Structure 1
Amino acid sequence: MAPKAKKQPNENLKQEHVLQAVIIADTFNVRFGPVTLKKPRALLPLVNVPLIDYTLEALAASQVQEVFVFCCHLGEQIREHIRNSKWQDGRSSSMTITTLLSDSCISVGDALREIDAKSLIRSDFLLITGNLVANVNLSQVVEEHKQRTQGKDKSSVMTLMFKTAQPGHRARCREDEMFLLEEGLSKRLLYFQKSQDQRKFPIPKDIMLDHEDVIVHNNLMDCHVCVCSPVVPTLFTDNFDYQTVHSFVKGILINEEIMGNKIHMSIIQDKYAARVSNLQTYDAISKDVICRWTKPLVPDMFASGHQKRIKNGRHNVYCSEGVTLLRGSTLGNNVVVGGGTFIGSGTVISQSVIGQNCQIGENVRIHNSYLFDNVVIESNCEVDMSLLCSGVRVLERVRIGKGCVLAWETVVGPDVKLADGTQLMSEPQVDEFDDLDMSFEGDDKPQSDAANSRKVEESMDTASYGAKCQAYLYKPAVESDSDEEEEIEEEESWWLYAADLRDDQLDESDDSSEEGEDDEDDDEEGAEGAGEFALDSDDDDEDGEDNVDSSLGFNPKACLLKVDADFYKELVATLARADSEKIKEENVILEINSLKHAFTVPINEVIHSLPCAFIDLARKLAESSGSTVPSVLAAFKSVASRYSPVMCNYMKDSESQLTAIAGLGDFVIKNEAYRPRLPQLVNILYDADVLSEGSIMSWYNQAPSNTNPSRAKCHAFLKKLVEPFVSWLQTAESESSEEDDGDEEDGN
């Protein structure tokens, strides 16, 4: 009998697949103000449990085997927390966690480039943030991505996970509001655009013509969960313009025909997934955890593993062991109280989370607020919709208004009232430039006037927060010069009035908070341009009439056209380069057209942006003379004269000229110093033959909008500014007609 053939050594061995995940434990922003100065956001307590533990629990439940936690700001604290957590004892989970620290990364793109340099990724992996709360099985989304890449769509590089949530849902972050187009059969992402309160979106015509089954989405919430192919870190390395996942998605969609890469979608409906991105979502997700929408990640089941055993009472009242409640104290609906906390008689707490070892005196009212561990509130105080960090002391008879944030170890009181939105910290805010010693050795110079005035200001602030206070006003380090940064401020202020909506919704279904669907806007604007479709969004006009600028008399955000910030920035840079390199006008037009297609912006947005971009170009040219308003106007006059063929190429008819005038109006509303100079700006474009007299008069005599009061008030405001120039036009026209009549009489 012939001997059997020997088997090859690895003939029956299959490659073991290890499911990997990358957690970006830094958000690279300052949305939580002074709270994250001493503790990273991933370690902030959400219903008395560190945020990152919710994320790790979701990964463990999804059978993830290897996790890389990428840390930047205060990363050593995150490493220490994970080192002392249950995930490292080897008994609670087989998941291995590796922390990666970096001080040089300033974006998600930098983090992925560093991960690519370390060659840590071996297969498809999950990319998530360290502030995710989810009870969905993420491995199913990974398996869906694998089947797709091993089947018909091998070019798919990423699958984005979204949660169904109607506009107005309390867990939707306003910054992440988006408008998507999906190919129904393949679940391929065709179009991606952040809505930013827009109600109309320009859709490239090719999408509608090339695809028979297109699904329009504005009812999705971005979970910031991505299933990525191993090539994704390499793509980030090859393109340094990719700083965020959203910029990566946009770049892939724009270059899809060239690179051949595709992005797909996965939509969950019956599970929970949301991200704590700011104070508004922190409040909303905390309420969802308390109301048990995140089960099993609920206080009595999940949080009990992090502290003493927690009992769940009626009306979602959770009390840990060791809580002392004196007679006469009341715990209302949706309250969590940590172990070792003392609550005095006559105190009423509702819709709030109280940390461990807190001391709350008599006759205290706490509503819709969040207290971290070791907070002390003395008698006869009132706290409404505020966040108090660990070690905070609130002395007697202090009233804390809505939206206040008291950072670590701050002391306020007694007998004071904090205005709504006040953010305080226990130490003076340090400016890195203040510590620079600019004097020569041996010089004995007094402190600068700026330093002295700053100390006076700090002492005045301190005095206003109580005689025994240890509190300094926190001022965000970010200036609100860009639209994105203005959105940050708007997001933070949204928390001030969001709780009024929450109180009526806490006991309702997760999918029932569909706000504003009946609030339809019939405002009809000009067509978005030939070759493009405009679709209305169902998003609410949340700015409404409430956020009125006292200097204007109306809400500017409700009437200004939203412009793609990346497109506008590149447009200004293109014009500056064209001016420095003396590029011909026809080539400048080609450059602008290329930008239009690259950023997929409608022609109306290009026309609207051009006058503002040329004014910004004039600002750059006037830098040598100090960039004063007169010098900028003089530079703009020269720029308008030179580039009038470029502007006239886009402003050929009355309708496009009306759009350009609207762009000038938006510019002066955003730049207060130029409001009195609006007549000169219009006159410069009129002298350059960019704007015709008929278009100016047509804009001036436009009927006010009946459907948008803010837009009507805005138009009236701009009319009043430009009235001197219009009067001059009318006078010049009448004088010209009289001269013509006189010439005719002389001829007769």
Structure 2
Amino acid sequence: MKLMVVASDSCSSLGDAMRDLYSKSLLKKDFIILDGFVVGNANLREAVFMHKRAVKQDPTCIMTCVYRRPNGFSGIKPRSMDNIRISHLALNSTTLRILKHFRPMNPSKLKLPTILFASNPKIRIWSVEDPHVSICTEKVPMLYSDNFDYGTRDSLIQGVLEQEELLNYSLRVHVTKIGHMLLVSSFRAFEELSKCLAKRWFSPLVPERSLSTRRIRYRYDEMHGNYYDESAKFHSKVLGDENVIDAGSEIDQRCKMKNTVVGKHCVIRGNVTINDSFLMDNVTIGNGCIIDNCFLGSNVKLLPGVHLEPGVVLGPNTKLGPNVKVDRYKRLVCNPPEVVSQDLEPLMCGKDGRAFEVTVDDETEEQTGLRAYGFQDLKWGEHPPVVNSLPILSDSEDSVNVDMENLDLGFSSDEEREKEFETEVMDSLLNAYRDESRLGSVKLELNSSRHAYNVSWENVLRVIIKSLLHVVEKSEGKKNLTGDKLWQSVRKGLNHFQNLISEYVTEIKHQIIVLNLLESLVNEEERFLVLIQLIFYHLNQELEVIDDEVVIKWYNKGGHKTPKFSLIAEKIKKFVEWLEVAEEEEDESDEDEDEDD
């Protein structure tokens, strides 16, 4: 790949950059505009293909705007800044041509001019998350060059839509279905990015490996989702999930921590609880402290008994305690600020503490401007609901009300997303079955798919086991096998992925999920009924991933209680009786050994 860097001191906006590139005649083909603060793993090939097809069908199309569905990220609370990243679109349902483009406001209704419906009888309203990615033709730089008031992409979009008849240009939309993109536009967005990386949603961009040098920076505990440097000291079994712990840090075994980033050489002592927080380097935390959704700068020291409520930000070298509570959204620094509010009450930072509160004037330009988006203040740790509504444009007579609550936004449902996940899992297993060299990486692929589609661990296990029972049949291009041929196919798949099954089925609850899945599978595909005893025996006796007592208890409790359980019970009855006899004989043998002793 040939890379050319073009720099200019005079360019302060996207519009300036486009005009500079146009004057140098550097953009002569389709190109992608990508904000420098976008992080993601979405594949843009489909978007480029759809753009080229749209241009071929309609030569007036000059740009395709790429958006993602506003699903948010599971396990991460929505941020107030999310509303600024939301775009509201009125589209032609057939061509996905943009008719109107808006940023969010408070009202839940939009008034569209009736003239839109004259040439567009079917209009779709979409609320989408805007990562600021666009695929453009060579005509876009020319438009920026001809219109010096175009400084941003939004100004270009509004200008094209307002002068559509004069310019004879149009815009299209593409919504990515797979992968993630995040515009890191604020401190809160940086928080969200850190948590997304820890949850591996941006794979192959993951915390433990550098993409540029391939150097391994952290060890990764797949069971708990923790990343840690080898020199860090902590107890993984009791610590908590989805944490990042850097070099030289020491964490007491009584500490409970979740979704937290710990910097270098931090010391956490005693019974401490930390959730959704960031600790920079050389932070010291004493026994009994509680920290919830806070940011602690370098060299912060909390003496025993300090309680930080959500949204607290502590600057470097701040010291608090002992036994103090800091109210939510306080911002503290170690030295007194230059301007101190006359109405400010003195902060009780503890007898041994040193901290001063920093306040932000409610009438600052930044916050006044943000009120247009429906926010009174932006505070770290504050998570109001994301606004996915549309603004009221005008109150003109030639307009029509569109109620957002009664509109189908056209995005795929959770069920459709799970089907896409099942397809991706099957593709990974098929590739690993056909190419044994990929067996080692198949688990990483499955975990990446799990995070990309936001699927629970239980559903991942169900999909994997179900796919393994079909993978050989699908690989060989055969359908609806029965009897011995089906059994040979099933056994070959289970044996081939034996190690993968053992890594996923590690607890009793996992074993029960597998048994329930087998029952549901028989309910869906009755051809598996004649094999059910063979599958039970193979998992229990050959692969040893299902324990005897689990099979017995599952059978005695009536299984998953589907309509087919009675038929399954009849098929495996003798096998269960055989297991019960073996259990009794083993118990008697143990009793005899105890008596001999």
Query: TM-score normalised by the shorter chain: which range applies?
Result: 0.5 to 0.7
Which one of 84, 93, 104 corresponds to residue 184 of structure 1? 93
1:208 is aligned to 117
* 3-state SS of paired residue (1:535): strand
1:581-605 residue CA offsets vs partner (Å, 9 max, x unmatched)? xxxxxxxxxxxxxxxxxxxxxxxxx
What is the CA-CA distance between 1:429 and the residue it aligns to? 5.7
* Inter-CA distance 119–200: structure 2 relative to 1 (3 Å threshold): same
In the alignment, structure 1 residue 152 sits paired with structure 2 residue 57: yes
What is the CA-CA distance between 1:370 and the residue it aligns to? 1.9
Amino acid at match of 1:401: E
2:477 is aligned to none
CA distance in 2 between partners of 1:307 and 1:472 (Å): 40
CA distance in 1 between partners of 2:264 and 2:10 (Å): 32
1:172-213 residue CA offsets vs partner (Å, 9 max, x unmatched)? 811233321222333221111223232100112122110244
- CA contact under 8 A between 2:106 and 2:373: conserved in structure 1? no
CA distance in 2 between partners of 1:132 and 1:465 (Å): 42
What is the CA-CA distance between 1:273 and the residue it aligns to? 1.9
* Inter-CA distance 482–458: structure 2 relative to 1 (3 Å threshold): closer
CA distance in 1 between partners of 2:300 and 2:149 (Å): 42
CA distance in 2 between partners of 1:414 and 1:243 (Å): 50
1:705-736 residue CA offsets vs partner (Å, 9 max, x unmatched)? xxxxxxxxxxxxxxxxxxxxxxxxxxxxxxxx
1:142 is aligned to 48
Q: Which has the higher contact order (CA 8 A, sep 6+)?
A: 2
In the alignment, structure 1 residue 275 sits paired with structure 2 residue 183: yes
CA distance in 1 between partners of 2:135 and 2:27 (Å): 13
What is the CA-CA distance between 1:464 and the residue it aligns to? 4.9
CA distance in 2 between partners of 1:305 and 1:116 (Å): 37
What is the CA-CA distance between 1:280 and the residue it aligns to? 4.6
- Number of corresponding residues: 399
2:151 is aligned to 243
1:125 is aligned to 31
What is the CA-CA distance between 1:455 and the residue it aligns to? 6.2
Which one of 258, 280, 288 corresponds to residue 196 of structure 2? 288
CA distance in 1 between partners of 2:371 and 2:22 (Å): 30
2:399 is aligned to 532
In the alignment, structure 1 residue 343 sits paired with structure 2 residue 251: yes
What is the CA-CA distance between 1:390 and the residue it aligns to? 3.9
* Inter-CA distance 380–279: structure 2 relative to 1 (3 Å threshold): same
Amino acid at match of 1:316: G
Amino acid at match of 1:161: V
* 3-state SS of paired residue (2:57): coil
* Inter-CA distance 533–118: structure 2 relative to 1 (3 Å threshold): same
CA distance in 1 between partners of 2:404 and 2:88 (Å): 8
* 3-state SS of paired residue (1:324): coil
CA distance in 1 between partners of 2:317 and 2:263 (Å): 16
Which one of 382, 394, 405 corresponds to residue 496 of structure 1? 382
Which one of 129, 136, 142 corresponds to residue 228 of structure 1? 136
In the alignment, structure 1 residue 475 sits paired with structure 2 residue 366: no
1:386 is aligned to 294
Which one of 230, 242, 256 corresponds to residue 321 of structure 1? 230
CA distance in 1 between partners of 2:147 and 2:171 (Å): 17
- CA contact under 8 A between 2:312 and 2:380: conserved in structure 1? no
* Inter-CA distance 488–366: structure 2 relative to 1 (3 Å threshold): farther
What is the CA-CA distance between 1:110 and the residue it aligns to? 4.4
CA distance in 2 between partners of 1:457 and 1:102 (Å): 43
Where do 1:498-647 residues align within 5 Å?
528-538=395-405
1:339-358 residue CA offsets vs partner (Å, 9 max, x unmatched)? 33221342221122223333
Amino acid at match of 1:157: I
- CA contact under 8 A between 2:302 and 2:319: conserved in structure 1? yes
* Inter-CA distance 360–257: structure 2 relative to 1 (3 Å threshold): same
CA distance in 2 between partners of 1:461 and 1:238 (Å): 57
- CA contact under 8 A between 1:381 and 1:399: conserved in structure 2? yes
- CA contact under 8 A between 1:400 and 1:419: conserved in structure 2? yes
What is the CA-CA distance between 1:375 and the residue it aligns to? 3.3
What is the CA-CA distance between 1:112 and the residue it aligns to? 4.2
What is the CA-CA distance between 1:126 and the residue it aligns to? 1.9
Which one of 285, 300, 320 corresponds to residue 413 of structure 1? 320
CA distance in 1 between partners of 2:272 and 2:372 (Å): 36
- CA contact under 8 A between 1:165 and 1:221: conserved in structure 2? yes
CA distance in 1 between partners of 2:73 and 2:156 (Å): 27
CA distance in 2 between partners of 1:103 and 1:467 (Å): 51
* 3-state SS of paired residue (1:257): helix
- CA contact under 8 A between 2:112 and 2:401: conserved in structure 1? yes
Amino acid at match of 2:59: K
CA distance in 2 between partners of 1:340 and 1:251 (Å): 55
CA distance in 2 between partners of 1:488 and 1:530 (Å): 26
1:554 is aligned to none
Aligned-residue identity in percent: 23
1:607 is aligned to none
* 3-state SS of paired residue (2:365): coil
* 3-state SS of paired residue (2:156): helix
What is the CA-CA distance between 1:228 and the residue it aligns to? 2.4
Amino acid at match of 1:197: N
* 3-state SS of paired residue (1:330): helix
Amino acid at match of 2:382: L
Amino acid at match of 1:412: K
What is the CA-CA distance between 1:368 and the residue it aligns to? 1.2
1:8-45 residue CA offsets vs partner (Å, 9 max, x unmatched)? xxxxxxxxxxxxxxxxxxxxxxxxxxxxxxxxxxxxxx
Where do 1:634-673 residues align within 5 Å?
none
1:516-569 residue CA offsets vs partner (Å, 9 max, x unmatched)? 99xx99xxx9x94422111112499xxxxxxxxxxxxxxxxxxxxxxxxxxxxx
1:164 is aligned to 69
* 3-state SS of paired residue (1:496): coil
What is the CA-CA distance between 1:121 and the residue it aligns to? 3.7
* Inter-CA distance 380–115: structure 2 relative to 1 (3 Å threshold): farther
1:375 is aligned to 283
* Inter-CA distance 305–331: structure 2 relative to 1 (3 Å threshold): farther
* Inter-CA distance 192–314: structure 2 relative to 1 (3 Å threshold): same
TM-score normalised by length of structure 2: 0.57
Amino acid at match of 2:65: L
Amino acid at match of 1:294: F
What is the CA-CA distance between 1:160 and the residue it aligns to? 0.7
1:261 is aligned to 169
* Inter-CA distance 366–341: structure 2 relative to 1 (3 Å threshold): same
- CA contact under 8 A between 1:279 and 1:492: conserved in structure 2? no
Alignment gaps of 5+ in structure 2: 408-597
Amino acid at match of 1:473: V
* Inter-CA distance 183–116: structure 2 relative to 1 (3 Å threshold): same
CA distance in 2 between partners of 1:180 and 1:195 (Å): 10
CA distance in 2 between partners of 1:401 and 1:420 (Å): 5
CA distance in 1 between partners of 2:21 and 2:224 (Å): 46
TM-score normalised by length of structure 1: 0.47
2:107 is aligned to 198
Q: CA RMSD in A?
A: 4.1
CA distance in 2 between partners of 1:378 and 1:457 (Å): 33
Amino acid at match of 1:372: M
* 3-state SS of paired residue (1:248): helix
- CA contact under 8 A between 1:157 and 1:229: conserved in structure 2? yes
- CA contact under 8 A between 1:167 and 1:539: conserved in structure 2? no
* Inter-CA distance 203–491: structure 2 relative to 1 (3 Å threshold): farther
* Inter-CA distance 227–300: structure 2 relative to 1 (3 Å threshold): same
Where do 1:707-718 residues align within 5 Å?
none
CA distance in 1 between partners of 2:142 and 2:126 (Å): 30
